[in-house]
Amino acid sequence: MDRGDFRLRADFDLPAQGITGLFGVSGAGKTTVLRCLAGLERGAKGRIEVARDIWQDSSTRVFVPPHRREVGYVFQHTQLFRHLDVAANIDYGLRRARRPPKLTRGQVCDLLDIDRLSRRRTDQLSGGERQRVAIARAVLRSPRLLLMDEPLASLDHDSRRQILPFLNRLHAELAMPILYVSHSVDEVTHLCDHLIVMRAGAITESGEIGQLLNNPAIFDDADTGVFIEARVTGHDAINQVTRLRFDGGELILPGHPPANRGRVRVRILARDVSVSVDTPGPSSILNQISAIIGSVADNGGPHVQVELIAGSSRLIARISRLSFNKLVLSKGQAVTAQVKGVAVKPSGQYRETL
C-alpha cells in the first residue's frame, strides 16, 4: 500500500488465540494495518485470509466489506453512541453478532466491572469506564478477530494501570485472536504473548514476547529483561511475602499471592539485577540466586550486559563497565544474581513488586 511517501509492506501470520502486540513508534504503520484488516482501506493491495476465509485479495478482486468481516474494533477514542446509555451501547454489539458470543453478556460485564454503570449516560463515565464499555461492545459482537488500536493511549497514568487487570481477565477468558497496537513497552510486555515490530511501514521482527524482550534492537536499555515461568509455593502471612519457585531457584515477593495460586509469568528487567562474585551477607535484597555467567554483550558504552544462567532459566544484568572491570567477570564464572525488582503476571491480573 502506497500513500504519498509512506509505503506499507506487512506480511505476517497471527496466532489463532492470545494477544499479539503490534509495536512501533508513531507513524510506523500500525493503525494502517488494523484499518486494512477491518476493510477500511479498500485501495490496499494484497491478501487477507482469516481462518481460511479470504477477506481481501487484490489479485482476484475479492473484497469483503467491513460490516461482513466479523471484526471487533476498539479505537483509541471510544466512539460510543452518546444518545444511548451504557446498556444500549453494549447491546448494540450483541445485536450485530453473527454467532453466539464466547462469553455471555453478564460474564463480559462482570469481567470488566461495568454492570453497575448500565443506566448511566456515556458522558457521565470516566475515560477508563468508557473504554471498558467500548471493549465490552466489541467483544460481544463475537468477532473472529479483535483489533485494539492503542486503547489506553488517551487515558492518564492511573486509569491505564486500573484498566490493565481488566484486559488481562479478558485475555484469560477469550479464545480469540487479539491484535493490540501500542508504542508502550509496559503495555505490550504486560499483556502480549506474541509481538510484531514495525518500522517505517515494514515488519522487522516477530515472535514470542519472551524471546524478544532482551533484543536491544527493539527495547532500549531501560526495558531490556527476561520472562521466567514460575509457580506459587507459599505465603508467609506474618512477614507478608509470597514465595515463587522457578527452575533456577526461589523468588520472594512482598504482598499477597496471586488469586489463582498457580503458575505465573515473572518479568525481571536487566536494570534490576546486580552481580556479586562473593556470597552476599545479610541484605535488604530478598532475592539472591546462584548463577553462571553465560555470555557478555559489550557495545563499547558505559554499561555491559551480562547473561546469567540459573538452571534452565536466564537472567540479564545491566551493570556499569567500572563494576564489570573491578569484579573481573568472565564467561563460565560462578556468581550470585541479586534481583531488586520483579513484576509478576498471574492468569487474569497483573501487579508489580519491589
- pLDDT at residue 261, as a whole number: 57
Q: Which among 234, 229, 228, 227 is positioned nearest to 261, based on CA atoms?
A: 234
- Interhelix angle 86-95/127-139, rounded to 10 degrees, is 20
Residue 37 included in any domain? yes
Helix (H) or strand (E) holding 53: strand 53-57
Across the range 131-146, mean pLDDT stands at: 92
245 lies in the same domain as 201: no
244 pairs with which residues across the strands? 232, 251
81 lies in the same domain as 167: yes
State pTM to two decimals. Answer: 0.78
Residue 47 included in any domain? yes
Residue 267 included in any domain? yes
Residue 219 included in any domain? no
253 lies in the same domain as 177: no
Give 240-284 as a 3 state SS string. Answer: CEEEEEECCEEEEEECCCCCCCCEEEEEEEHHHEEEECCCCCCCC
77 lies in the same domain as 132: yes
- Asked whether the predicted pLDDT for residue 234 surpasses 70, the reply is yes
Give the chain's radius of gyration (CA, Å): 23
205 lies in the same domain as 267: no
Distance CA 344, CA 267 (A): 6
Q: Which among 115, 109, 118 is positioned nearest to 86, based on CA atoms?
A: 118
Of 212, 240, 272, the residue that ends a domain is 212
The band of 148, judged by pLDDT with boundaries at 50, 70 and 90, is: very high
Q: For 261-301, write each residue's pLDDT tens digit.
A: 577 778 888 989 999 998 887 888 889 999 999 999 888 88
192 lies in the same domain as 230: no
The band of 352, judged by pLDDT with boundaries at 50, 70 and 90, is: very low
Q: Which among 256, 255, 285 is positioned nearest to 273, based on CA atoms?
A: 285
| CATH code assigned at 298 | 2.40.50.100
Q: Which among 85, 25, 8 is positioned nearest to 220, based on CA atoms?
A: 25
Task: Select the more confidently predicted residue: 93 or 214.
Answer: 93
Of 212, 235, 270, the residue that ends a domain is 212
245 lies in the same domain as 148: no
C-alpha cell at 165: 487487570
Distance CA 231, CA 266 (A): 10
- pLDDT at residue 34, as a whole number: 95
C-alpha cell at 171: 485475555
Q: Which among 98, 89, 154 is positioned nearest to 124, based on CA atoms?
A: 89
CA separation, residue 251 to residues 224, 228, 292 (Å) = 20, 11, 17
C-alpha cell at 24: 512501533
Residue 39 included in any domain? yes
- pLDDT at residue 336, as a whole number: 96
Residue 88 included in any domain? yes
- pLDDT at residue 259, as a whole number: 54
| CATH code assigned at 91 | 3.40.50.300
- Asked whether the predicted pLDDT for residue 307 surpasses 90, the reply is yes
Residue 149 included in any domain? yes
- pLDDT at residue 1, as a whole number: 61
C-alpha cell at 19: 494477544
- pLDDT at residue 344, as a whole number: 67
Distance CA 340, CA 255 (A): 15
- Interhelix angle 157-173/105-112, rounded to 10 degrees, is 140
The band of 258, judged by pLDDT with boundaries at 50, 70 and 90, is: low
- pLDDT at residue 350, as a whole number: 35
**Region of poorest pLDDT, from 162-176, 192-206, 211-225, 340-354:** 340-354
Q: Which backbone phi and psi does 342 adopt, to 5 degrees?
A: -140, 140
Residue 218 included in any domain? no
For residues 245-279, one letter each, b for 16 or more C-beta atoms within 10 angstroms of the residue's C-beta and e for the rest, the string is ebebbebbbeeebbeeeeebbbbbbbbbbbbeeee
- Asked whether the predicted pLDDT for residue 225 surpasses 90, the reply is no
Helix (H) or strand (E) holding 187: helix 185-191
**Region of poorest pLDDT, from 7-21, 77-91, 286-300, 340-354:** 340-354
Most confidently predicted of 206-210, 335-339, 344-348? 335-339
Q: Which among 102, 121, 111, 133 is positioned nearest to 17, based on CA atoms?
A: 102
206 lies in the same domain as 238: no
184 lies in the same domain as 46: yes
CA separation, residue 179 to residues 33, 142, 196, 199, 351 (Å) = 10, 15, 10, 17, 23
The mean pLDDT of the chain is 86
52 lies in the same domain as 14: yes
Range of the domain at 111: 2-212
